[in-house]
Structure 1
Amino acid sequence: MDKLWAHLIEVQPDPDPWVVLVSALVALAIVGFRLPWQLSRGLITIAHEGGHALMALLTRRKLEGIRLHSDTSGVTVTRGRPHGPGMVLTAMAGYLAPSLLGLAAAWLTEQGRVTLLIWTVLLFLVCMLLLIRNLYGALILLATGGAVFALSMYAPSHVQQAAALVAVWFLLFGGVRPILELQHKRRRRQARDSDADQLARLTVLPGGFYVFFFLLVSVLSIAFGAYLMNPLP
């Protein structure tokens, strides 16, 4: 156990500045272009639904399960009081989760704890797998977890570091686009049961306020994450 812990908290040297910049550009291209975004958006959905599930557990709501769908949508089913702080926080956590997870991952990467970050992601995926209630969701989590496990076991340290940087930037940038897509759907009245509209029904604030709040947190997470991983002296 001592050797395992020492391996997990091993500190890697700082990446070259060009590696940080290129990884940011790669992640931005994945999020910004239509085809790579459609192929990778399911990863953001995993973080989104994981955020709902984690907050439900923290607020002591009964977690029934999680479903991930082939159209990159998802749903987390909980039981408990239909109103109150627990329900509000659970509904609020989804759109904030990718950005906040990206910010936490940026801090670990800046500290050189890439191995710890990778194994934390694996633990997160295993916990979600236990809560999945449909076959497609289980397959997506198994494929994602298998790729992360293979990276941790067989890739050299510099490859792990580069992949971790791309993943961190992807979470930070990828946290913004679903919020913009949400507002676009709300303007066309195609998202009447979105998290923002559920929050509007639970509180006195309009749904637009929550969209703005989600966007503000996501943009601030990008700014602070970029500050943490700043490659320049």
Structure 2
Amino acid sequence: MGNNVPIHAPLFRAEQGVTLLGGGAVAHADLALALALAPDLVAADGGAAHGVAAGHMPLAVYGDMDSLRPEIRAAIPPERIHALAEQDSTDFDKALRHIHAPMVIALGFTGDRIDHELAVYHGLAARPDMRCIVLGAHDLVVHAPPRLMLDLPAQTRLSLFPLTDVTGQSTGLVWPIDGVGFHPARRIGTSNMTKGGVVELCFDGPGMLLIVSRDHLAAVAQAMRAASVWSRTTGAPWV
């Protein structure tokens, strides 16, 4: 890219929620499901093709544009395309950092290249001030906020995967997490189960991924909308 290509772009602001499309596989039914909860459509680079193919024109496209096919680019109003030249972040992060919305549901970011998917989870950890749900074919993943209240059926699988040192407290889990020192190389919390009813999770800092079945997307979306987030600069809870 030329030196005249910017590394910053206008922010996309939404009052409800944003569905963010990546370049991986996206079923039309999943796109409709996400748009019902997060009605404004934004794409990361080549993910725009999924929206165009489904008859939903992205309101903004962010990325380095190395995978946006010429025919898809030509179909999108040029003022909606924001090319970002820097190569120190992924297209997922480029898009996420330009979105101001109460919640983001991200599709097309899982199930393909493992290194790309891991980079997405790094992006969640790097943006703890974002309420973002990464929706996959079987599960969904969020970066756990300081406190989360989830209404889930009994025997729901709930996994916790730390990306750093994290501790927390819980109610409503079969195996409580109180007093557990989580760390990616020492102690993880996958395949826990719910007792039924409201699950409350509190954490002492950012860095915990929470994974549940995608069947609970609506409940997780509702809970994430109501949750506070982490300050990206201090790591402290921030409304």
- TM-score in terms of structure 1 length: 0.22
Specify which structure has the bigger relative contact order, considering alpha-carbon pairs within 8 angstroms and separated by 6 or more residues.
1
Give 1 or 2: higher strand fraction.
2
In proportion to residue count, which structure has more helix? 1
TM-score, length of structure 2 as denominator length: 0.21
